[in-house]
Structure 1
Amino acid sequence: MPIDDAMPVRLEAAGTKPEEAEELLTELYGGKLHVAASDAPFSYRYAAIGDETMTLRTSKFGGRLAGELQPTDEVVVQWLQSGTSVLDTGGQPFQMTHGVPVPLLAHRSFAFEMDTYEQRLVHLSRPLVERVAAEQGADVSGGIVFDPTMAPSEQAVRTWHNTVSLVSHTLRESTPGRLLHAEMARLVSASLLEMYPQQQTGNEAGSGASRSAHVQAAVEYVHQNVHLPITTTTLAKHLDVSLRALQEAFQRDLQTTPNAFIRRVRLERVRQELRAADPTTTTVRQVASAWGFAHLGRFSQQYTAEFSEYPKDTLANT
């Protein structure tokens, strides 16, 4: 049962045959995988819930799993709860420690060997993680870079587990709307970057702390209130800073203007909704208008420039 990236993800599978588990995981992840029984009777269970920006997953094997996976457009974070797992990301192989999350390198293949284990995983959209990192002042011109052999701080690991627990409870107990799910995905991404910080840009390193705080507060406010008629003026008033100071801070830290940032976030929300909508009952005009784009032609140009795809094609491919 493949996971459709354009639809909400809800998957549960379990069984007692190694060949079924191997077929399932190969369909989900690709690559070269091998599943085999160990001394005890073989069994497996796999579950996933979320959407294309973030899925929370569990994997439990009463057997052995080994293989090599290729790069994807996702950042995968995994942590063992029991059993053993050895990872090889192209350097020195290392054994995972129970409870310590390890991010897999999205831009590199990796090999692994696991035996009689239970683990948790979070799959995050790599563009989302890169955007959150950039908003924090990181240099992502070369993409996100993780060192999976680096031990994160105990406090950062606790924050990660608390964050994932909160998000998991919300997903299990209800079906959150698109705004809440998007904010939860951003929160998990920020928690990941707290454990494995990215290199900061020279501009960010040399800027004043108060200015960086203003930009971060503005970014958070936009994501939480982008469904409202926000402008650069109202944003500056909310932060109690001058319009010019806000514009200069955005240009320095994010290399964009506040208006362009607001527009990009709204375009992202439109894309999320189009990818989850039913094309037989939803139109591009309806979704665009709901997110504040009154001129359909201009919106279509902006959307295509941002995502290299016409909005009607995004909707048609759901």
Structure 2
Amino acid sequence: MPIDDAMPVRLEVAGTDLGDAATFIADLYGADLQVEDAAVPFEFRYAALGDATMSLHTARFAGHLAGALPPSDAVIVQWLQSGSSRLDTGGDVLTMEPGVPVPLMPDRTFSFEMDDYEQRLVHLSRTVVERVAAEQGADVSAGLRFDHSVPPSEQSVRTWHNTVSLISHTLRDGSPGRLLHAEMARLAAASLLEMYPQQRPAPVEAVHAARSAHVRAAVEYVHENARTPITTSSLARHLDISLRALQEAFQRDLRSTPNAFIRQVRLDRVRQELLASEPAATTVREVAAGWGFAHLGRFAQQYQVAFGEGPKVTLDRTTRAPGGG
């Protein structure tokens, strides 16, 4: 049964019974747990506020907790405030540093071991994070991928904490409307992706095929700025070469025109965003317009030629996927 994204998440649990705490966490996350008392009297607290699109969580566990977290529909971002935590991310064991957020990929099981910890977590809808990543030009056709081996920059971590603080104050001041809550979820997703950028579609083939430095620069510029109103003329001005020289270089190196190349890159980005979007919340027209396609009929024809299916078929894939809601 599909979960209503607007269904409120609001809970607060506290206690001193180790068994009750273990049962609560296991039920909440579907995790297999092993628990032990700490040297100090046991104490447990857990609170959450938000909805299925985005919720903020705090947890305190005065003891030893270990187990495995199964795959989830949410992207869970967690960071320590005190205590210790080790995560097995599927190969490398990651020792968490206080204050540094770590996202868990929704399609992978994580094992963990934590001691006398206090942590905060943000649960974000996977769909929201994928949609924002696709809008930024990332390739999410194979799902989200967070590289835990590359520490996030100090600036991006500060931005994350500032973002979460703003969202927390807004939620605690009252229940924001659905539109505001959705925008805050997108803001959190954007902040997460600043810390852990997704891989952009690499223009490897085009770059390797380009013998001209101008064509290589043009290829990279188009991939980085595909959402902006680039034209062949503006691209030539950016590269400080004549329009004719640019056209000749593209024809010689890529057997294409600059305009056709720009169009194909934008079509690729539209496809990535459609694959990451919810059909009930998105239209082909909106996505196409966001990537500069003003004429829907002409766009649909170009999309059909490029991918062998219409854009509406691509968007509807999530409703036809096995196990889809």
- What is the TM-score of this pair, normalised by structure 2? 0.67
Query: 1:282-310 CA distances to partner (integer Å, 9 max, x unpaired)?
Result: xxxxxxxxxxxxxxxxxxx99x947639x
Counterpart of 2:152?
152
Aligned partner of 1:61: which letter? F
Counterpart of 1:169?
169
Is 2:127–2:278's contact at 8 Å kept on the other side of the alignment?
A: no
Query: 1:79-129 CA distances to partner (integer Å, 9 max, x unpaired)?
Result: 000000011112121210000000112211111111111100011111211
- Cα gap change, 1:174/1:251 in structure 2, threshold over 3 Å: closer, same or farther? same
Tell me, in whole angstroms, the C-alpha distance in 2 between the residues paired with 1:139 and 1:4: 27
Tell me, in whole angstroms, the C-alpha distance in 1 between the residues paired with 2:35 and 2:173: 33
Q: Does 1:142 align with 2:142?
A: yes
Q: Does 1:308 align with 2:314?
A: no
Counterpart of 2:110?
110
Tell me, in whole angstroms, the C-alpha distance in 1 between the residues paired with 2:97 and 2:136: 28
Pairing of 1:167-316 with structure 2 (within 5 A)? 167-202=167-202, 205=220, 207=222, 209-213=224-228, 251-255=267-271, 267-268=280-281, 305=316, 308=319
- Cα gap change, 1:90/1:252 in structure 2, threshold over 3 Å: closer, same or farther? closer
Deviation at 1:175, TM superposition (A): 0.3
- Cα gap change, 1:265/1:24 in structure 2, threshold over 3 Å: closer, same or farther? closer
Counterpart of 1:75?
75
Tell me, in whole angstroms, the C-alpha distance in 2 between the residues paired with 1:87 and 1:97: 11
Which has the greater radius of gyration? 2
Tell me, in whole angstroms, the C-alpha distance in 2 between the residues paired with 1:98 and 1:49: 22
Tell me, in whole angstroms, the C-alpha distance in 1 between the residues paired with 2:40 and 2:145: 39
Counterpart of 1:124?
124
Aligned partner of 1:102: which letter? V
Unaligned 5+ runs, structure 1:
216-245, 271-300
Query: 1:15-53 CA distances to partner (integer Å, 9 max, x unpaired)?
Result: 000101111111110120122211000000000111111
Q: C-alpha root-mean-square deviation of aligned residues, in Å?
A: 3.2
Query: 1:108-151 CA distances to partner (integer Å, 9 max, x unpaired)?
Result: 11111111111000111112111111110001111000122321
Q: Tell me, what secondary structure is at the counterpart of 2:280?
A: helix
Is 1:146–1:196's contact at 8 Å kept on the other side of the alignment?
A: yes
Aligned partner of 1:308: which letter? T
- Cα gap change, 1:38/1:208 in structure 2, threshold over 3 Å: closer, same or farther? closer
Greater Cα offset, 202-211 or 53-62: 202-211
Unaligned 5+ runs, structure 2:
204-218, 231-261, 284-311
- Cα gap change, 1:213/1:98 in structure 2, threshold over 3 Å: closer, same or farther? farther
Pairing of 1:88-99 with structure 2 (within 5 A)? 88-99=88-99
Counterpart of 1:24?
24
- What is the TM-score of this pair, normalised by structure 1? 0.69
- Cα gap change, 1:214/1:40 in structure 2, threshold over 3 Å: closer, same or farther? farther
- Cα gap change, 1:21/1:149 in structure 2, threshold over 3 Å: closer, same or farther? farther
Q: Tell me, what secondary structure is at the counterpart of 1:268?
A: coil
Tell me, in whole angstroms, the C-alpha distance in 2 between the residues paired with 1:168 and 1:157: 16
Tell me, in whole angstroms, the C-alpha distance in 1 between the residues paired with 2:49 and 2:137: 30
Tell me, in whole angstroms, the C-alpha distance in 2 between the residues paired with 1:196 and 1:67: 25
Counterpart of 1:223?
none
- Cα gap change, 1:5/1:46 in structure 2, threshold over 3 Å: closer, same or farther? farther
Is 1:88–1:111's contact at 8 Å kept on the other side of the alignment?
A: yes
